[in-house]
Amino acid sequence: MTTPWKWLRRRRERQAEWQDELDSHLAMREEWDRAAGLPADQARLAAQRQFGNRLLTLEDVRAVHVRRWLDDLVQDARLAVRGFRKSPTLAVVASATIAVGVGASTAIFGVVDPLLFRSLPYPNDHQLVSVGYFGPVDNNEFNVVSSYLDWRREKTVFQAMTSMRPESQCDLLAGETPLRITCQSVEANFLRTLGLTPAMGRDFTRDDDQPHAPPVALISFALWQSRYGGDARVLGRSVTVDEQPVKVVGVLPKGFEMPQLGEADILTPERLDATRPRAANSSAPLRTFARLREGVSIEQARAAMLPLFRETLQLDVPKELRSEARLVVRSLRDRQIHEVKLASWMLFGAVLALLLLVCANVANILLAQAAARRRELAVRAAIGAGRGRLVRQMLTESLVLALAGGLAGCGIAWALMRALVEMAPDGLLRAGRTGVDARVLLFALAASVAAALLFGMAPALERPRAEALAGARVAGTARTLFRRLLVAAQVAISLVLLTGASLFLRSFWKLQSEPLGFRTEHVVTASFTLRQQRYRPQQAQSAFFHELEARLKSIPGGGTFALSDSIPPRGSMGRPYSNLRIAGHPPVAANGGMVDFRWVTPGYFRVMAIPIVAGRGFEEGERASGESPIVLSVTLARRLFGNENPVGQQLDLTADGHWHPIVGVAADTRNSGLTETDPEYYRLRMDNSAPPRAAVALFRTSLAPATLARWIRKEVAEVDPSLPVTVEAMEQRVGRFREQPRFVATLVALFAAFGVLLAAVGLYGVLSFLVAQQTQEIGVRMALGARPRDIAARIQAYAGVWTGVGVAAGAACSLAVTRMAKGLLFGVTPGDPLSLLAAIAVLALTAVVAAWIPSRRAARVDPMVALRYE
Amino acid sequence: MRRSDNLQGTLELLILKSLEHQANHGFGITLHVQTVSDGLLHVEEGSLYPALHRMEKDKLIKGEWRVTESGRKARLYSLTAAGRKRLAEAESSWTSVAKGVRKLLRFA
């Protein structure tokens, strides 16, 4: 086989040769004319004039060769189509198989491409990093204002550093109705650091970003279009954001994406105030990003930042958390997709394995067909078709098949991608960036061509033998060995897929059946967040909650009611464990991580059905009293008190000298995702307390969520008509946490099922071929006294051997591959023997079924017919 | 292409005929045609070389780099068996066409 390099070199050499030939002609003509008496310079000119356009002639010569190549190609393609018309079933099955393989892999590629491969929507995105502290308080790295002010002086590894406050909601007053939108406060150099400029108007300046500068804003392209009709006069206009007038100075570029993958309707300057005391600035959180200098690696940047990090760690991070905090510098892409990276690679890997299976299957089909065509090929070789010519013909046939399949595959990919977008949980897809485009189509083409080369190579490399001319049944051992290996490989790949699928399914099933510690059925939630501006005075806030509670409680059929600031399975932000003090006890251990807490009304434990295991829950009468009681979770109680009875003890929560009586202990809940239980305590919402502005109203009710939702909205609107409320069934809320595992498990299971089907078809094909090939031999054996049972057993044993080889190889691969999926599994280890055994059992069963029909056919061979065969 | 090349296959016939008795290079072929036809026929290089390559691809002639008597490297073409056969066919068909055309001209 010639390599592409050799081919290219030969092509160049040949072109040079054509040129040499023309040059030699010119030289001879010149010599001739000189011999006839012309002066040397005139002779050259005459020769050139006589010859005419040398380049044009060279072009014509090349065209002769190219056209010949094209003619051959067309001839091959026509031959291929004619061949397929003779055995249409084969061609349809083969291209349908390719269509599914290419379709599935293209769809998955389309989904993971924006996450894994496509560049982020910022120029030189490889230079962008996210920088910050990483600790148990947040899933992502974060920063605080005081540290950032020190860090941003670092100029050796970064071109620029920028920051934003954590995202927040705000209300835009446009006309009469307030609009709840996403506001982001960013540093003046934010867009410039990302490498972007506004689509219209100006960027923020340093002056805009001063603590008391007149308020200005950049609005998103979408907001500009939808609210202001794309009118350029929006620049300089004053809009009302959170009841404050803000001047619009610019419009963000179309399709602008925040670096942490959020949306932004409005950007305002964050106005960090370096003059505030360090203590105040160290409690204000930030997200920080930076652009690396050209040629600086992330490791170098991290090393350069370490001394600064150590310095600010001492100044800004509470003592208890220091040992758990570390410096994170990572690429923006990693920051964006860290939660879905593994899942994305897993799906992409699974679908590529499927594509490989498809190739193996089609190769098998073509090999079977080639066996039948051996005579035709031998004839063509005998009458002078070169070996290269025959290889090319076979490859062209594969290409025709693959492109037909690939075309259908694009349709499948399109449909599948639409389904995936519907199905996929938030975050696994990048909204708006998933769709069929040039890159995806190119992938489909590349996948088809690669597949064609893969499965076309096998039959193409078979050397036609002279014996085949006679029509004799040549054993062709090499080929059948290859086919058996192909089947073994198919079995191995499908075993890997199956093992993966069974792991994911088991993990998902465990996740589904894992007790949450609370009951979700018949619970309806209504969440809302009070606006900062309107409810700034604490009295306004308590008054609002007071009235709302009274109204919601009296909704007819509303059932048991409770109010909390957050609900599991998501933890609250939490506080350091080491801040807790027990009256009359030595200080608690440091490095205890974080403790979740919630502000709840007495009904909370009843609505959530969280059992009180010691002491009692809260009582309505306590809310007016001065003492603010607390309830501990079992985990926290055990950690603080061991075997001692916590009820009746006094606890200081924030080391501020306020003591709270512990009135009870509640059972644990899954409060940190579906799988983890963090220590937790509950505080009673007192009449005079100031709980967070975010709140969740809970109802344990027999009413349908939709019915209740109308009531809730009506009641909320009567207190504050501008407050948006989200009403959801608790099950729906919790279900969101299961979406990604479900998505991955469903897809991998689907791929595995298809893989097993392909392996079965492959095994069936090889065995049928074998039986057809050995009909004569079987006849002889039967004539000599072999029983049908023996014959069938022989075929089945044969199937068993090659399935066994595949299973052994597949099991080894599974153990290696599934280890990488560890982070996606819950309650199952990657080497889980049960999953592997289940996968092997499914495959073995499939193999038995696939082998049964051909072996029965073999057993039914009539010796007389078989012996007369041919 | 001049008037003499207008009939399809004529150039091919000229080339085949030029190579009948000895291998020759492109320049030699143009000289041969010109000399033997007393300057009546003339083969243009722009048509000659594509034709040579096409005929080589069709396996009518075979090209080979050789050193000529004057010590120059040139690509020499010679007839293959298929080429000889084609020459015989082309010659007879040309003769009959020519004969037919001559009769027609006389009649007019």
Domain count of the fold of chain B: 1
pLDDT in tens, A523-550: 999 988 887 667 777 788 888 898 999 9
Taking an 8 Å cut-off on Cβ atoms, the answer to whether A32 and B46 are in contact is no
B72:A20 CB<8 A: no
Shortest Cα–Cα distance, A399 to chain B (Å): 25
- A740 vs A265, higher pLDDT: A265
Record the tokens describing residue A305, joined without a space.
Answer: 């930042």
Q: Which of A46-60, A305-319, A821-835 has the highest mean pLDDT?
A: A305-319
Helices (H), A554-633: 604-608
Strand partners, A181: A170
Residues of A in contact with B44 (CB under 8 A): 52
A503-516 residue pLDDT tens: 888 888 888 887 88
Q: pLDDT digits over A187-209, tens only?
A: 999 999 999 999 999 999 999 99
User: In chain A, positions 5-64, which contact chain B (CB-CB < 8 Å)?
Assistant: 18, 20-22, 24-25, 27-29, 31-32, 50-53, 56-57, 60-61, 63-64
pLDDT of residue A377: 72
A433, A103 contact by CB (below 8 A): no
| Contact (CB, 8 A) for A763 and A850 | yes
Residue B7 has pLDDT above 60, yes or no: no
Asked if B27 and A63 come within 8 Å (Cβ–Cβ), the reply is no
Weakest mean pLDDT among A76-80, A620-624, B29-33, B71-75: A76-80
Tell me the β-bridge partners of A266. Answer: A183, A219
A464 HSE (CA, 13 A, CB side): 27
Q: Do B74 and A28 touch (CB under 8 A)?
A: yes
Mean pLDDT of A114-141: 85
- Check whether A492 has a pLDDT greater than 60: yes
Task: State how far the Cα of A158 lies from the Cα of A161, in Å rounded to an integer.
Answer: 7
Q: Find, in chain B, the residue whose alpha carbon is nearest to that of A56.
A: B46
Provide the pLDDT for residue A291. 95
Average of per-residue pLDDT across A493-499: 89
State the pLDDT at residue A848: 86
Contact list in B for residue A51 (CB cut-off 8 A) is: 45-46
> Helix crossing, A40-51 with A54-86: angle to 10°?
30
In this model, does residue A180 exceed pLDDT 60?
yes
Torsion of CA A556, A559, A562, A566, to 10 degrees: -100
Q: Indicate which of A17, A23, A24 best probes the interface with B, i.e. most B CBs within 10 Å of its own CB.
A: A24
Confidence bin at A591 (pLDDT 50/70/90): low
Q: Give the integer Cα–Cα distance in Å for A479 and A459.
A: 9
Lowest mean pLDDT among A399-413, A585-599, A673-687: A585-599
In the predicted model, what is the mean pLDDT of residues A736-747?
81
Looking at residue B1, its pLDDT comes to: 36
- pTM, two decimals, is 0.71
Q: Which of B44, B46, B74 is closest, CB to CB, to A24?
A: B74
* Exposure b/e, A731-749, CB count within 10 A at least 16 = b: eebbeebbebbbbbbebbb
When comparing pLDDT for B53 and A433, which is higher? Answer: B53
Residue B45 to residue A57, Cβ atoms within 8 A? yes
CA Rg value for chain A: 37
Q: What percentage of chain B reaches a pLDDT higher than 90?
A: 28
* B60 touching A (Cβ < 8 Å): no
Distance from B93 to chain A by nearest Cα, in Å? 26
Measure in Å the smallest separation between the Cα of B45 and chain A Cα atoms: 6
Tell me what pLDDT residue A178 has.
66
B72 touches chain A (CB under 8 A): yes
pLDDT confidence of residue B77: 94
pLDDT at residue number A475 = 47
pLDDT score for A823: 78
Q: What is the pLDDT of residues A226-253, one digit of tens each?
A: 888 888 888 998 888 877 889 999 999 9
Domain limits for position B33: 3-107
Nearest CA distance, B57 vs chain A (angstrom): 8
Nearest to A493 by CA among A751, A274, A870: A751
pLDDT digits (tens, 9 = 90+) for A630-644: 999 999 999 899 888
Instruction: Return the pLDDT at A461.
Output: 67
- What residues of chain B lie within 8 A of the CB of A49, using their CB? none
**pLDDT band, very low/low/confident/very high, at B97 (cuts 50, 70, 90):** confident
Tokens standing for residue A181 = 């939108």
Q: List the single residue in B27, B31, B49 with the smallest CB-CB distance to A61.
A: B49
Instruction: State the pLDDT at residue A1.
Output: 43
pLDDT, average across residues A70-92: 79
Q: Residue B82 maps to which CATH number? A: 1.10.10.10
Confidence at residue B2, expressed as pLDDT on a 0 to 100 scale:
38
The rounded distance, in Å, linking the Cα atoms of A21 and B64 is 11
Q: Tell me if chain B has a CB within 8 Å of the CB of A116.
A: no
What confidence category does residue A70 fall into, taking pLDDT thresholds of 50, 70 and 90?
confident
Reported as a pLDDT band with limits 50, 70 and 90, residue A576 is: confident
Residues of chain B above pLDDT 70, percent: 92
- Please determine, for the modelled complex, whether the ipTM score is greater than 0.90: no
Could B72 and A24 be called an inter-chain contact, meaning their C-beta atoms sit closer than 8 Å?
A: yes
Q: Determine the pLDDT at residue A612.
A: 94
Judged by CB atoms closer than 8 Å, whether chains meet at B73 and A21 is answered as: no
Give the list of residues 6+ apart from residue A266 with CB closer than 8 angstroms, or none.
A170, A172, A181, A182, A183, A184, A217, A218, A219, A220, A223, A241, A246
Task: Enumerate the residues of chain B whose CB falls inside 8 A of the CB of residue A63.
Answer: 50
Please give the average per-residue pLDDT across A376-384, as a whole number: 71
Whether a cis peptide bond, with omega within 30° of 0, leads into A576 is: no
Interface probe for B, chosen from A18, A32, A60, A66 (most Cβ of B below 10 Å), is: A60
Q: Band the pLDDT of A474: cuts 50, 70, 90.
A: very low
Residue A184: DSSP 8-state: E
d(CA A138, CA A593): 11
The pLDDT of A656-684, averaged and rounded, is 87
pLDDT at A663: 94
pLDDT class for A31, splitting at 50, 70, 90? confident
Q: Tell me the shortest Cα–Cα distance from A21 to chain B, in angstroms.
A: 6
